[in-house]
Structure 1
Amino acid sequence: MKTNFLTLLSLTLLLSVSSCTIDINERTGDGETISTPGTTTGVLPEGGKLSGDITKDLTVKKGNYVLEGIVKVADGATLTIEPGATFTVSTNVSSSLVVLQGGKILAIGSAAEPIVFSTTAKVAGGWGGITVYGRAPIKAVNGNATAVSEDGNALTYGGTDANSSSGILKFVRVEYAGKKIGDGTSETNTFTFYSVGDGTILENLVAYKGTDDGFEFFGGTVSARNIVSYGNFDDAFDWQDAWKGQNNSNWFAFQTVTGNFGMEIEASGNTDNTAPKISNITLIRDANTNPEVAGSTEISAIQFKKQGSGIFSNVYVSGYKNLGGKNAYAVLIQDDATNNSQVNTTPSKVVVSPLNYVNSDNLGVWGYAATNGGATFTNAATVTKVSLPTGAWATVDGVDLLTALK
């Protein structure tokens, strides 16, 4: 009886284990991909290809890998990426890494061994970057609690859990993103966060030379610390849908060659919004940097529009010069409605102070593109540039991206 019982138990366990599969692709010697079944937690083999839907927990260890196609981390699955993992992203197909609502990413690198996503061609716009969907609240146009994403996935986002977690992104660098989508005139951002909750940790991230924004937040409550937007074609930092992260610090943007606003801020027209808070911001515009569209007015450091708000402290701005007859400002209030409902309130929901605005035009003046209002400010000599840890995480092809902070 004991022998029969053990046999039956062994058979039951065998059937139980073999019925579970995970979406792991392993490259064979001739380049063919095969799936690796047999466990609820898998490890991507060294040199393997990350592709398709990740429906079970998957770990990627230190090493070199390929990311191909739209890779989606499904609800209930966790993608864990260890320090030193490097992904070469395929550009012959539309590729991106998307964490869906309920999915998690634990990409935890280090200053010496960051997690890197890049392309062989090293040309901006090669792929779609990293997009994370969470379950935190948003306020879209007309105060709507949900909206449809504009990243090409056309997914509904928005939720009710402000404290929700989509995981951890730490010491991660994303290069050459900004794949064109839709009608061919729009691009994805390098990092995009849709309704992500403040249980998510975003620290020490680099967005390098993408064709759209470096970082964009669509509502949600998540905060980000020690983030670098370098050489992105559109805005370094952008948000809408009443994003309201409260614990942000150490944001650095270096705009070079092509770049629009340092920060583009809106709340999708919602007067009733909670102003995000960011301490320590450095925005530097390199000489000979031009907006994407010749003659554009998108050359100011910080723009508020459509009821956008923000409480910013210790802000250092340099290099924002008038261009082609257009004026560049440290702070630009784009419309009367924003000025009335966000700036001229008590207390104001648009605060940029202390601010040191140097090597730029229109020193000491906030710009107003609309008709009412106007403000001057005194440069605060006590403000210094953001301080960030050095290391491989912020070094590309031997170039230290933090040089401008020294």
Structure 2
Amino acid sequence: MKDLKKTLLLASVIGLTGFTACKKNGEEAITPIPTDNTETLANSFFEKVSYKGAFGTTDWSAGWANYNPQSTNYPSTTATLSGKITTNTTLDASKVYLLSGFVYVQNGATLTIPAGTVIRGDKTTKATLIVTQGSKIMAEGTAAKPIVFTSNLASGSRAPGDWGGIIILGKAPNNIPGGVGTIEGGVNNEENAGAHGGTIADDNSGVLKYVRVEFPGIAFQPNNEINGVTFGSVGTGTTVDYVQVSYCGDDSFEWFGGTVNAKHLISIANVDDAFDFDNGYQGKLQFCVAQRDPKLADQAGQSNGIESDNSETVFNSSPRTRPIISNMTIVGPVASASVLSSVDAKHEHANLWRRGSKMVLGNSVFIGFKYGLNVRDLETGEALTDGTSVISNNIYQSYIANMDVIVSGSKPAFASVDLLKSYLSTKGNTIMDEDGAQNLLNNPFNLTAPNFTLKTGSLAASGAKFQ
């Protein structure tokens, strides 16, 4: 069986090259079987920069991102967006829309949102925009005119969970039994409106570019939440670039399977995990940043920078979750040892890789966390030791003694933490103390006007590798 798995791994380049025979009209038909990908950071998707972390010396968030949306005054709504959108529809940027209830883009329709449009989510109806399989959202703002999804409450009274969020559903592969699942978040599955998954790796659900999503995120019940932006089996034909999620009541970004790639993502002051991967997600990410608010954490669980699972029940199911990440910066809730005791106890790991998740993680910076890197469960660790996962050239800093590197689970793959630390050392990773972390970035812990660019002489200014 191990030899078979190796053969499938070598044969798969984008995760769809395995095949099986099935009956069709009495004849044998060939249907692709999703398999694990073997992509690396050498892929042409990645810009080959020399620095580690999301920013060098230039702030690519300037002009379009908003780090203090609580104080922003938006104009009153003048139109309503509700119900089902079943034909191609283009919004009017001169109007301010009230998003009311669950709004479905379906029947193959395309919703086009012009640059500069403001859409305010209604709290009472848990307003949520759902782009169903086969339909598209074309939300392409500009740096000067970003598209804004925000709370309909007045400045000063907004909070995480004021409305639902954005859910995009596609036909790319996942590892859900049968290949098709129903997205979480209370989505009505009549007419398969909540369905996601298939065999089209390059499925196209449209564009999200220069988009801000503020105060979303509703937890209906444990493990059934609406995130800031949810990607359900979204394919590589979809463009995701320059997207900010702020003050989200759950995860800022969560991927359930799929292959979609993304650059320039920002997560600010969310409640649960900043970046969450599940069910065989195999996309690529570069230039992503997150900042945690010490007083905002998930009281029903734990709040992590990265949380990644393959499958909740079958840890080695295929395709394996295997995000390929470079140049990520996640700033935890602990600005210094002196404030550690005041940080919400539910804040935990910079990275939590578990339940068989694989990964390629390089050239990234994780500072200000209680706990550092946790590799949990046998299958997760085995992927590091057999080389199908790689963690390389990253910087970690955390505060709790003996919790900077953790091996956990009922069957951990590493017999001791020292073995995992040895692995990390041989792969060019650096584990530093508070003094070292303070010399990396210009002003990363400021909650309303952060600066994530590199300080002069920063250790993160060089050493990135793309292999």
TM-score normalized with structure 2 length: 0.66
Kept in 2, the 8 Å contact 1:187–1:211? The answer is: no
From 183, 188, 205, the equivalent of 2:243 is 205
Partner residue of 1:332?
Answer: 374
Q: Find the aligned partners of 1:118 and 1:188 in 2 and give their Cα distance.
A: 15
Kept in 2, the 8 Å contact 1:251–1:386? The answer is: no
| Alpha-carbon offset, residue 144 of structure 1 | 3.7
Local SS of the residue matching 2:349: coil
Deviations 1:75-129 (A, max 9, x none): 3211111111111211121210010001100000112211111111411111110
| Mapping for residues 121-140 of structure 1, pairs under 5 Å | 121-140=157-176
* Residues 1:280 and 2:330 aligned together: no
Q: Find the aligned partners of 1:289 and 1:163 in 2 and give their Cα distance.
A: 45
* Residues 1:250 and 2:284 aligned together: no
Compared CA separation, residues 276 and 359, structure 1 to 2 (3 A): closer
From 81, 85, 100, the equivalent of 1:54 is 85
Q: Find the aligned partners of 1:90 and 1:112 in 2 and give their Cα distance.
A: 26
Partner residue of 2:60?
Answer: none
Query: 5+ unaligned residues in a row in structure 2: which ranges?
Result: 1-76, 298-302, 455-467
Compared CA separation, residues 51 and 80, structure 1 to 2 (3 A): same
Q: Find the aligned partners of 1:253 and 1:369 in 2 and give their Cα distance.
A: 25
* Residues 1:116 and 2:152 aligned together: no
Partner residue of 1:307?
Answer: 356
Q: Which has the higher contact order (CA 8 A, sep 6+)?
A: 2
Partner residue of 2:30?
Answer: none
Corresponding residue pairs, total: 335
Kept in 2, the 8 Å contact 1:91–1:127? The answer is: yes
Query: 5+ unaligned residues in a row in structure 1: which ranges?
Result: 1-45, 322-327, 388-395
Q: Which amino acid aligns with 1:147?
A: G
Q: Find the aligned partners of 1:72 and 1:336 in 2 and give their Cα distance.
A: 40
Compared CA separation, residues 177 and 385, structure 1 to 2 (3 A): farther
Q: Find the aligned partners of 2:340 and 2:143 in 1 and give their Cα distance.
A: 29
Q: Which amino acid aligns with 2:198?
A: G
Local SS of the residue matching 1:165: coil
From 327, 335, 348, the equivalent of 2:388 is 348
Local SS of the residue matching 1:69: strand
| Alpha-carbon offset, residue 343 of structure 1 | 2.2
Local SS of the residue matching 1:301: strand
Q: Which amino acid aligns with 2:139?
A: A
Compared CA separation, residues 185 and 239, structure 1 to 2 (3 A): closer
Partner residue of 2:464?
Answer: none
Partner residue of 1:263?
Answer: 306
Kept in 1, the 8 Å contact 2:132–2:195? The answer is: no
| Mapping for residues 29-48 of structure 1, pairs under 5 Å | 47-48=78-79
Partner residue of 1:159?
Answer: 198
Partner residue of 2:405?
Answer: 366
TM-score normalized with structure 1 length: 0.75
Partner residue of 1:11?
Answer: none
Q: Find the aligned partners of 1:87 and 1:291 in 2 and give their Cα distance.
A: 35
Q: Find the aligned partners of 1:144 and 1:251 in 2 and give their Cα distance.
A: 32
| Mapping for residues 135-146 of structure 1, pairs under 5 Å | 135-140=171-176, 143-146=177-180
Partner residue of 1:14?
Answer: none
Structure of higher CA gyration radius: 1
Q: Find the aligned partners of 1:186 and 1:163 in 2 and give their Cα distance.
A: 27
| Mapping for residues 293-304 of structure 1, pairs under 5 Å | 296=346, 299-304=348-353
Q: Which amino acid aligns with 1:206?
A: Q
Compared CA separation, residues 290 and 362, structure 1 to 2 (3 A): closer
Kept in 2, the 8 Å contact 1:138–1:159? The answer is: yes
